[in-house]
Amino acid sequence: MKLRKIVERLQKLHPKEIDLSLERTKNLLQKLGNPEKKINCISVVGTNGKYSTIQALHAILKEANYKCNIYTSPHIQKINERFVFNDQPLNDDQLLDLFTEVEEINNGSKITFFEILTVCYFYFASKFPNNINLIEAGLFHRFDATNILTKNLASVITVLGNDHLDWLPEKEQTIERIIFEKTSSLLESKIIIAKQNSKKINNCIKKTILKNKSKKIFFNEDYNFGMNENDFFYYEDQIGALKLPKPNLLGLFQLENISTAIATSRQLTDYKITNEHIKNGITKIQSIARLQEIKSGKLKKLVKNNQLFVDGSHNPLGAKALNQYLQSIKSNKHIILGMMSNKDHEKYMSYFEDIKSLTTIDIQNQPNSIKGSKLKNKIKNFKNIKCETSIENAIKSINLEENDIILITGSLYLAGEVLNLN
C-alpha cells in the first residue's frame, strides 16, 4: 500500500507523461552527487529486441560470475522488475526506501515519472560500483533520461524501425529521423549493431554514427550466425567461431538478439568471458512476455493440451518476427489481440499469415488503449474476427482442435495483465 501511494505521488510531479528533455534528470542527479558517473554501463538502444538482448547478455555475464544491475521499461507485472541489482529485483521495502529518499531530495520539483525512476536507478546503482549496468533506453535516446552518461563500456543498437512516430514532428515521422534520435548521441566507446531489416536502415545507421570514434561492430560484416537442424547454431566473429547449443528462447529473431549479446560480451575485453560462459549462459536466459509459453496456471487450464503463448510485441517489426515463428509451426494459429490507441493496428496485423481466428479485447486499466470493439472495426477485413469482453472469454470462445496454438499479443500492458491473471 505504501509503495503504491508513493508511486502515485511520483506520477503527479509533472503534468505530462513524457516531456523530452535532459535538464530535470541532470539537476536531480547533481543533487544526489552525480551517481551516474560512478558506474560501469552498457547502453542498449533500438526499436525491438532491447529487452531480449539485455537478458541474453545478463545470462552470459552471470555465468562468468559478474554481478549485474539492470534497468528496463516498462515493467510487465510489478514495478520492481525495473530495478535489478546484484542480479535480483528490489523488494517492496527496498523500493519504498529508495523512492522515499529520492522524493525528499527532489522536494516537489517538476520531473516526469520515467525521469525520477531513472534517477532512482542510477542513485542505487552507485552503491555497486563494480557491477555491470545494463541500461535500456526509453523513448528514442537523444532526449531520453538514460542519456546522461559521460562514459560507458559499450553501446548496442538493436533492430530499428517505425514506432512512437506520434512523438516526432508530423513532417519528420520517418525512419531516418528515428535513427538520428536513437544513435546520433551515442558515447564514444564501442558500438555493436544488430541485424537490421534493410540495407537502407543499415546504411543510415552508418552515416549517422560515421563521426563517432567508437569501434563499430556490424552484423554480417564483423559477426554473424547460421542455423543448423541438429539443435545447434553457429556464431562467428573476428575473434573466432563457436558451435553453440540451442538457446532457451524461441524464434529466429531471438537468435539475432542472442548473437548481438554474444558479440557485445566478446568486446568486453576488460572482463574474462570464455566460450563456455557463452555456451552455458544462452541456455539460461530469463525472459518475460517475449514469445513466452504459458505452461501452467489459470489460463493454461482453459486451453488444456493446446499451447498458449503471450508476447508483448506492439509494432510491425514485432509482428513480422512473430509471424516468422508462427509460420515454422504446422498447426492452426489463433490470435487474441489488444493494443494501445497510438499503434498502427492495421499494419501490425497485416504481417500475420494463415491465422485461423482473431479475437480483439480491451486492455483493462489502460485508458490509452483502444477498445476491442473499435479495434475489431479497424481490421474488419481480417477473416474470422470477433470481439470478446475479457481474456478468459476470448480463450473460451475459440473452437480449438488438437495441436492448435493461441497467441495473446499486441501490447506489453496486455502481456502483464495475462501473466497476472494466470
187 contact partners, CB below 8 Å, separation of at least 6: 43, 149, 150, 151, 152, 155, 214
Range 226-242 average pLDDT = 90
The grid cell for 218 is 556490424
CB 214 within 8 A of CB 186: yes
First to last CA, the chain: 23
Among candidate residues 419, 412, 311, 320, the one with its CA nearest the CA of residue 368: 412
Domains of the chain: 2-281 (3.40.1190.10), 292-421 (3.90.190.20)
The total of other beta-carbon atoms located within 10 Å of residue 322's CB is 22
Global confidence as pTM: 0.94
Chain centroid, CA 91 distance in Å = 22
pLDDT at 219 over 90: yes
Virtual torsion, Cα 101, 102, 103, 105, nearest 10 deg:
90
Q: Flag the least confident range among 40-44, 102-106, 177-181.
A: 177-181
More confident residue, 168 or 315: 315
Predicted pLDDT of residue 266:
98
pLDDT at 409 over 70: yes
Cα-trace Rg, the chain = 21
Tell me the pLDDT tens digit for each residue of 41-84: 999 999 999 999 999 999 999 999 999 999 999 999 999 999 99
More confident residue, 155 or 163: 155
pLDDT at 31 over 70: yes
The grid cell for 288 is 518475460
Among candidate residues 228, 226, 220, the one with its CA nearest the CA of residue 194: 220
63 contact partners, CB below 8 Å, separation of at least 6: 276, 277, 278, 280, 281, 284
Give Cα separations from 181 to 132, 140, 238, 353, 412 (angstroms).
25, 6, 30, 32, 23
Give the largest Cα separation in the chain, rounded: 61
pLDDT at 165 over 70: no
pLDDT at 164 over 80: no
